[in-house]
Each structure stands twice: as C-alpha cells, then as structure tokens.
Amino acid sequence: MSPEGRTFRLTIAYDGADYAGWQVQPDQVTIQSEIERALWQATKEKVTIHGSGRTDAGVHALGQVASFRTTNPIPPENLQRAVNRLLPPAIRIVAAEEAPADFHARFSARGKRYEYRIWRERICPPHLARYVYTHPYPLDVTAMITAAPLFAGEHDFSSFSAADAKDALGHSKVRRIWVSEMAEEGPLLLYRVEGSGFLKHMVRNLVGTLIEVGRGNLSAEGVRALLATPQRARAGNTVPGQGLYLVRVDY
C-alpha cells in the first residue's frame, strides 16, 4: 500500500425522501454526511467522499458513485459490510472496490443516466407516493413522447438550468445528450435521459417542459426555440425531486 493510502470506489443506492440531498450542509442530514460518519466509524479515519455529482433533496439513486482515500488496510468486502451495518436502511453501499490512485468519482465520469417517474392516476398508492410525481391531469402523452428526443444532441441547455452560484464563472452550459425518451408503462410515464453531464435541476426542468408540451402550452417548435435561444422563463417549471432517480454513472 502506498504511503498516501488507497483509493476506494463506492456504488451507492439510496432513498432520498428524508434527506436534504447529497452534499454536506450545516445542520442538515445528507447522504454524504451519513456515509462519511459511517466511514469514520469503520476506518477510524476522517475521510471526505467525492460523489459523481450532487442530487437534490428528495432525489433517489440506484447507482450513485463516490470515491475516497484511506490508509486503512481493510479489504473492500469488509468495508462494504461494516459501512452498511452502520448506515441507516435508506442508504446502501451496493459495491465497494479498490480503484486506481487517480480515480475520482466526479472528474473521471464520462456520462450519467437519470430516470423521472410520473404517476398518472388520480390516486397514488401510499407506498409509491414518495417516489413518483403524481400528475393525474390531462396530458397529450403522444406529443410528449414525440418531443422528448428533441433534447438529444449537443445543445446549450441554459433554458433548462437553475441559477447557480457558479454562473459568475462563465462556464459553458453546452451538454451532449445521447438518449432522451419518454415512455408510457401502465399508470407511469417514464422519462429516461443519458448524457455527458447535467446542469443544476436540468433533468427536472426538461420534464417540466415536456409536461407543458403535454398540456398543449408548448409545441415542438417551441422546444427547438428554447434550445436555439436560451429563455428560462419560457421553459417548464421545475418538477419535484421525489420522482427523480440517478440510475447509473459511466466511466
């Protein structure tokens, strides 16, 4: 083992309903803070984990990835078992493995896949209520399915980005989307999107915009205009975080 220690890669699933998002925040219980607490107890080292990206309050994950360094010689499988025993049931380490020294969960990532789930019936089963966005109002689902692929490709997604403190740095808001599709599966509408990276609230704003298409308030031409000329005020509202899942991170 190098004197600087080892790099670990964690794959994490969590129910975000009761958490204030991924990132550590003062006086808030977050996914990152819970995992760092458990790692401190398991390794007797205070470590900082780096996630592939932040998820907002209420957002869930099936395959979030995080990395950290430790000098503790604990084998990965033992670390996984120990940390899962120390974590609340809503957070699970799905896999733990040693990674190359230069691996970084955020900077090494090449792409992500998200899914957003909309419940279409008037009554949502109680066991699903925290994991879907209930929208039992009339929608032209065919129009939404047709419009969803318009987001694929390389575009400036400023129309679909929330204001961010980093905006003052002037970073590009151009992103490449590989897959953007809406599907109807029984009472659920499922939006799936894969891309090289995502802006703050971007997926939730894409879904909000597709809902405006379904309501008849926005046409396919209107969507193209939002991609061609940034106009956040003309895009859809930010839908609730509870319907959003980080499905996978690719490296």
Q: Which residues of 181-219 are buried (b: 16+ CB within 10 A; e: fewer)?
A: ebeeeebebbbbbbbebbbbbbbbbbbbbbbbbbeeebe
Nearest 5°: phi and psi at 102?
-95, 10
Question: What are the b/e assignments for 109-131, b being 16+ CB within 10 Å?
Answer: bebbbbbbbbbbeeebeeeeeeb
Please tell me which residue in 56, 140, 167, 250 is annotated as part of the active site: 56
56 is catalytic: yes
66: β partners: 10, 51
Enumerate helices (H) and strands (E) in the chain, giving the number of each: 5, 10
Question: Whole-angstrom Cα distance, residue 87 to residue 39?
Answer: 9
Residues noted as catalytic: 56
